[in-house]
Amino acid sequence: MIIKARVVGLLVMAAVGVVSAQQRVKPKAELTASVTTAAVHAGAPVQVALKVKLPASVHVQSDKPRDPALIPTVLTIDAPAGVTVGKIRYPAPRDLVQDGQKQPLAVFGPEFTIDVDLTLAKGAAAGDLVVPAHLKYQACDEAVCYPPAKADAQWTLAVKP
């Protein structure tokens, strides 16, 4: 009888561990890249946007966290030849008050958009031009911060003659 009780107890503990592990799946950012400029021409500025969607209960630190020990959200762009990256505009962060913290956290999420200014060279050829981007972030919920992650996206600029 004692052995049965121990076996049942171990099975219950294992089941709880599996459920806890399943609930702590590392959240992933879903990225949607869009070109907001109506027509893309050589030598002209181009505005693009990156929409970030996280699970409902998840946030990331802003690009400028108040606590320097926290990991900021950073968008980097691999500009191909003929593309110059201008201003990257992050949204205004929202304050997240946490027990035991002197000041609220400056966070984004669960959905936010980053706007980017690009400029095409005057000699840019007509056709599709791919501009890759990488978002580095650390997702957190009310209980835990997950390991830092990276998500990739790209804009395809249909350059008109």
* 70-82: b (≥16 Cβ within 10 Å) or e: bebbebebeeeeb
Is cis: bond before 110, omega within 30 of 0?
yes
The pTM assigned to this predicted structure is 0.83
Between CA 146 and CA 155 the distance in angstroms is 28
- Among residues 122, 42, 32, 120, the alpha carbon closest in space to that of 83 is found at 120
> pLDDT tens digits, residue range 35-50?
999 899 999 999 999 9
* Predicted local distance difference test score (pLDDT) of residue 18: 41
Name 133's Cβ contacts closer than 8 Å, sequence gap at least 6: 33, 50, 75, 76, 77, 78, 116, 152, 153, 154, 155
CATH 2.60.40.1250 matches 28-160? yes
Whether 99 shows a pLDDT value over 50: the answer reads yes
Task: Give the rounded distance of the alpha carbon of 35 from its chain centre.
Answer: 18
> pLDDT tens digits, residue range 104-160?
999 999 999 999 999 999 999 999 999 999 999 999 998 899 999 999 999 999 999
Other beta carbons within 10 angstroms of residue 63's beta carbon come to: 18
Between CA 91 and CA 88 the distance in angstroms is 10
User: Per-residue confidence at 52, pLDDT binned at 50, 70, 90?
Assistant: very high
Please state, for a pLDDT cut of 70, what percent of the chain lies above it: 85
